[in-house]
Chain A
């Protein structure tokens, strides 16, 4: 040590050292402190922002999905109602058809049965007529074979009529 400087005096060497020290401090602090810390803060901030944005978008997506599902559900419900109504109407139609068919069938059967009956009746009548005629013929033969008295005549007629009734029963 060789003494003291003046209290107020400019020392160019001190100024130079101060300048160099300042520059070195600035550069080193910038490299080792400010840049990494700022980078870290920014990175964290970005991560948080990203997370929020992601959460926001997920929420929106979920809401959209929900709306979609609800729409699908309601449309499915409508479709189901439509199908049901369709099926009911078709069934009713079919029912009516079946009933109508049955009715027409029944009517046809009845008509046929009536026709059959009429025909049978006709046939039976024809048979009766034939019988009658054959009986008449046989009676006539009998009459021709023997003398017929009035009493015989009467008896014959009533016999014939009685037989007729029997046949006709």
Chain B
């Protein structure tokens, strides 16, 4: 898997990369969606408004549960972070754009924003003196550096790792399908027909016994035979037939699930860190 594509280079610097474009697209999509969802709100909501309100209320509840009621005003930032992260991970599934979160520049920026928010809140709530006093113990400097780095690499690594695994899987399946099709094709037309017939028989028996697995195997065998026939007659070359199906299931885990979990983890960590820096008013006075 390659890094982000470079679209524009000025003076030897990679100014506009694929990540920047994806990030911009995600921003535009989120803002447009947000604008249309937050428009025409009524006391008696329609379907869309109910969903929107449910989502917003869930975010508010999450923030209030994690950071406390007094930190409820952080919800828009946490929500924007969560949605940007989720959208940035999911936009890689379009195939045209690259996941923004599989670029360490993005996740590190977000992690540093969190760190600066934490530092800012600490100074604002307990004063510069207390903030600087914390660094009498030099271990705190290390922890303050480690915190954004670990956050950034956790998110980046998960999405990037998922992408790498998916691309490896695609390569492996392409190689595998070439191997299988070669095997069928090189033995002549009779083998192709035999595989096709076998596929039909398996499918029909699956239909009779009402077994989903047999049906799928039957269809797969028939499609294999069809692909082999297409290659045999020279209509196409190197059809990556095995790439159908299996990657979709795995992508559900590596892209959708992993993207969602990482977005949640990143927002939760931000909430926890910022929440610790913004204690409730009573505790501050002690």
Tell which of B5, B59, B76, B100 touches A35, judged by Cβ atoms closer than 8 Å.
Answer: B76
Q: Determine if A144 is an interface residue (Cβ-Cβ < 8 Å).
A: no
Convert B1-41 into 0s and 1s, putting 1 for each residue whose CB lies closer than 8 angstroms to a CB of A.
11111110100011111011001101100110011011101
Q: How far is the CA of A38 from the CA of B75 in the complex (A)?
A: 10
Q: B98-123 interface mask toward A, CB cutoff 8 Å, 1 = contact, 0 = none?
A: 00100111101110010000000000
Name the distance in Å between A83's Cβ and chain B's nearest Cβ: 57
* A contact residues around B42 at 8 Å (CB): 40
A128 CB to closest chain B CB (Å) equals 122
A residues less than 8 Å from B17 (CB atoms): 5, 11, 13-14
> Contact between A22 and B13 (Cβ–Cβ < 8 Å)?
no
Given contacts A1-B6, A2-B9, A7-B3, contact A22 B31 (CB under 8 A): no
In angstroms, Cα B75 to Cα A110, docked, is 113
Main secondary structure of the interface of B (DSSP, over half): helix
Q: Which residue of B lies closest to A1 (CB)?
A: B5
Encode contact with B along A117-134: 1 for CB under 8 Å, 0 otherwise: 000000000000000000
Instruction: Let me know if A5 and B14 touch, CB within 8 A.
Output: yes
* A10 and B31 form a contact (CB under 8 A): no
- Report how many A-B pairs have Cβ atoms within 8 Å: 149
Interface stretch among B50-58, B179-187, B245-253? Answer: B50-58
Chain B 71-105, CB-CB to A under 8 Å as 1, else 0, gives: 00001110111011000000000000000100111
Give the chain A neighbours of B34 by CB distance below 8 A: 28-29, 32-33
Which residues of chain A from 82 to 139 have a CB within 8 Å of any chain B CB? none
Interface size of B by CB at 8 A reads 53
Q: Is B160 an interface residue (CB 8 A)?
A: yes
B53→A41 contact, CB < 8 A: yes
Among B16, B56, B59, B110, contact of A18 (Cβ-Cβ < 8 Å): B110
At the interface, yes or no: B60 with Cβ under 8 Å from chain A? Answer: yes
- In addition to A13-B17, A37-B53, 17 A-B residue pairs with Cβ atoms within 8 Å of each other are A1-B7, A4-B3, A7-B3, A9-B105, A11-B103, A14-B19, A14-B103, A14-B106, A15-B109, A19-B109, A25-B30, A26-B80, A29-B80, A30-B77, A32-B35, A33-B79, A34-B59
The 5 closest A-B pairs by CB, nearest first: A30-B76, A33-B34, A5-B3, A26-B80, A14-B105
> Residues of A at under 8 Å CB distance from B?
1-15, 17-19, 21-22, 24-26, 28-30, 32-38, 40-41, 43-44, 47
